[in-house]
Homo-oligomer: A and B are copies of this chain.
Amino acid sequence: MTKEQIASAYKALQAEICAGLEKLDGKATFSSDHWDRTEGGGGLTRVIKEGDLLEKGGVAFSAVHGPVSPAMKSQLNLEGESFFATGISIVLHPHNPHVPIIHMNVRYFELDNGTYWFGGGIDLTPHYVIPAQAKLFHQRLKTICDKYDADFYAKHKPWADTYFHIPHRNESRGIGGIFFDHLSENNTKLTKEQLFAYCSELASSFVSIYAEQAELGRTKHIEPHHLAWRNLRRGRYVEFNLVHDRGTKFGLFSGGRTESILMSLPPMANWEYQYEAKEGSEEAETLKVLGKNWDWVN
């Protein structure tokens, strides 16, 4: 399985995901923005906005290569002279506060010395956490994980809990999901082909997983306090991405394409000093859940 085959498969998955999301949205369509990277490779950033379901969303594909820069050496500890990286990255911000924000990423990295690894994950950020829906989401992910390795969910779910944590708020970004990095035949029971299949299945399942969550909330009644809360939670999403997310920080500091890196940022985010949810309110219930990591599937 060559890097070209992986990149080509990811590019096809991007197209499939965008088509699926357009169907789900029912109103807006994705724009397409091809870009080249001076040092080698490029990408296709696809963005949707002002849809029926989605206020703003991006599905980015890239396949880049070139010399390992000093920034990459120091921040990623890479032992090699040149690299190849390809992946899909998605963030969707829905209008309706009763529909969750979602993020998915699959990526493949290879060095000229033959080292390679897969990384990725899916995580869900409901503005309002509904335990039954959170359970459904985690069950879907566990079902996929279990097809590849009975230990994957048990390993990749806590990895997401750790990764998607906002230390300065002592909150999780949402209800987590799965996250993994640096997987190869050397540290898993799987072959390279099987690891690729795991990532591909996450990507190809993405639309149906999100559709299920979206349909449960998209027609729910919206009151002003729901919108105000949605905007505050979007603010937290910005805080996580700009302060803590390793991919975002590495991208910005290593001269990546800013517009593609920051397509994850929401429309209309808000910050309010010392916001306090009313005791017993829906907002307070969600904050309670975000204060610790849960075992959703049992």
Contact = CB atoms under 8 A, between A and B. Distances in A.
A249 interface: yes
Interface string A254-288: 00001101110111111111100000000000000
Contact of A259 (B45, B259, B261, B274): B274
Query: How many copies of the polypeptide does the oligomer hold?
Result: 2
A5 to B, nearest CB: 30
Nearest to A248: B243
Interface of A is mostly: mixed
Central interface residue in A242, A252, A269, by most chain B CB within 10 Å = A269
Interface residues of A, number: 33
A183 interface: no
A167 B251 CA distance: 12
Contacts of A262: 239, 271
Contacts of A47: 273-274
A200 to B, nearest CB: 26
A125 interface: no
B231 A268 contact: yes
A136 interface: no
Nearest to A257: B168
A49 B275 CA distance: 13
A263 B273 contact: yes
Interface in A30-81: 33, 45, 47, 49, 56, 58
B272 A267 contact: yes
A270 B273 contact: no
A169 interface: yes
16 contacts: A33-B274, A45-B273, A49-B273, A58-B273, A167-B252, A168-B252, A168-B258, A231-B268, A235-B265, A238-B242, A239-B242, A265-B271, A267-B271, A268-B270, A269-B270, A269-B271
Interface of A: 33, 45, 47, 49, 56, 58, 167-169, 231, 235, 238-239, 242-243, 249, 252-253, 258-259, 261-263, 265-274
Given A238-B238, A239-B262, 17 more contacts: A56-B273, A168-B252, A168-B258, A168-B261, A169-B258, A231-B268, A238-B242, A238-B269, A239-B242, A243-B243, A243-B252, A259-B273, A266-B271, A268-B268, A268-B269, A269-B269, A269-B270
